[in-house]
A and B are shown apart, each in its own frame.
Chain A
Amino acid sequence: MRLADVNLLNLDLAVNGVPHDLFRFLRAEAPVYRHPEPDGPGFWVLTRYHDIQAVSQDWATYSSAHGVVGLGPSEYGAGSQNGGDSPAAGGAELMMLNMDPPRHTKLRNLVNKGFTMARINRLEPAIRKAAAEILDSVAPKGGCDFVTEVAAELPLRVIAELIGIPDEDRHRVFDWSNRLVGNADPEFQVAPEASMQASMEMFAYAEQLATQRRREPRDDLVSVLMDAEVDGEKLTTMEFDVFFMLLAVAGNETTRNLISGGMLAFFEHPDQWARLRSDRSLLPSAVEEMLRWVTPVMYFRRAATGDREIRGHQIRKGDSVTMWYISGNRDEEVFADPDRFDVGRSPNLHLAFGGGGPHNCLGLNLARLEIRVMFEELIERMPDIELAGPVQRLRSNFINGIKHMPVKFAPRRVAAQGVG
């Protein structure tokens, strides 16, 4: 491999699987790589664990305020402040993901309390019930699409419940989420403006829900956000809309892909599935290993606010710096035998929830719980599950995703009330 062969702008980058050989090459030969781009100044690619960690924690030097998704020149942030021409672009800088402290701290605190360990741990019975229902609903068929019928269902139900989206509307959220995140994938991008359309629809829906909650507050995040004040002011409609979108999309897409990708890892490593089935005390470490192995969000980026040096490379103010978690999680300097899927791996201080600092994953406690419960119930209810056809991966250089994954298992009749 040569550096000239590295093209992270290629949307087909991971369509046949994450190119771990490419990242191994970058870690070894160019761990701080200035990636060219056709019509821009290029961007830095960090592939080593400790570099990612350092940038992640130094939020004052490496700002999120110019957008954290996308590899080319900042598509919003500075641009949209000068009057972005689209509602989606115009709202992006209002999203918590694209902010620095102290504003970020204040918005984060609004929702932090809904995602503490204590609060999330109380959801376990409800999550277990949902997981059992999902698996029991496909059990009699002897097979299903694991992604749409199993992996997508659990996070969708759980985040809908937390946000306050009624059951009958949650598949609309699934559809919007697919169109927003999968906007490079032909299956979801039915028209060039599909992701714009999806965000408009989602905003309209969020505002409708907000109007209802303003009249009748409930114990959900929409009510919390409607009630919240930051610096003595209520959130604006646009701020509320993008908050809703962030929670709805981030709470869905990532966990779905983790559960699908984790299941695929077990299909590819049946010895580890057998090991976990025979020793369930390995579940917590298995969850961490799935997180490391899959790393659903492959990178986020920052913009340098000043001149800095990383491993002898001069980073200039304004430069885009991308942190490739997917690579850091296979860093040979940190993980012994990193390309081995090992459900007993310890220590396993992976970067799947970020490298530390203000933007650590808000939903990490929830994600871990959903993954653990889903795999506990899978072992219990579908221990013989196996792959039954080709895996269709998401076309994206951002999300490590699976769209469809046919599976089969011994058909099982399920009595009502989940007994049986």
Chain B
Amino acid sequence: MSDFVKVADLADVPPGEMTLVDFQGEEVVLANVNGTIYAFSDACTHMAGRLSQGLLEDTIVTCPFHAGRFDVTSGEAVSPPPKERLTVYRVHVNDGGEIHLLAP
């Protein structure tokens, strides 16, 4: 557990919402999909649009720049223009509702 770093509390990310955090110098988005927290890089792999300002629908996030889509559970690009997958991070939520991340 020592490699996990606390980045937020569960209360910061209500279901269906995203929040932006700094994780070891990287901008990372936390997304709450029906109570499960997923973490991924904020920068779209196409032109670095901010995904945290996009649209989260179920497990799919849409980039506000050019409407590229990713599956937040895997980071996979599911709709162009992006082709490369997003970096995703391992998430652990402890009993105290603290969200911890592990570097990929």
Query: Which residues on A are within 8 Å of B, measured CB to CB?
Result: 53, 56-57, 101-102, 105-106, 108-109, 112-113, 115-118, 121, 347, 349, 353, 355-358, 360, 362, 364-365
Contacts and interface: CB of A to CB of B under 8 A. Distances in A.
B62 interface: yes
B55 A116 contact: yes
The 5 closest A-B pairs by CB, nearest first: A356-B48, A102-B22, A117-B55, A109-B20, A356-B47
Contacts of B21: 105, 109
A349 B50 CA distance: 15
Contacts of A115: 53
Given A118-B55, A365-B53, A57 B20 contact: no
Nearest to A356: B48
Contact of B52 (A112, A121, A347, A349): A112
Residue in B27, B43, B47, B53 with the greatest tally of chain A CB atoms within 10 Å: B53
Interface string B26-62: 0100000000000000011001111011111000001
Given A53-B47, A56-B48, A347-B81, 14 more contacts: A57-B43, A101-B25, A102-B25, A109-B52, A116-B53, A116-B56, A117-B55, A118-B56, A349-B66, A357-B48, A358-B27, A362-B53, A364-B64, A365-B64
A101 B28 CA distance: 12
A349 B47 contact: yes
A109 B7 CA distance: 13
A347 B65 CA distance: 12
B18 interface: yes
A117 B54 contact: yes
Contacts of A101: 22, 25, 27
Contact of B22 (A56, A105, A113): A105
A117 B53 contact: yes
B65 A356 contact: yes
A407 B49 CA distance: 37
B19 A113 contact: yes
Contacts of A118: 55-56
B80 to A, nearest CB: 10
A105 B21 CA distance: 7
A364 to B, nearest CB: 6
23 contacts: A101-B22, A101-B25, A105-B21, A105-B22, A109-B19, A109-B21, A112-B19, A112-B52, A113-B17, A113-B19, A115-B53, A116-B53, A116-B54, A116-B55, A117-B62, A117-B64, A118-B56, A356-B43, A356-B65, A358-B27, A364-B53, A364-B64, A365-B64
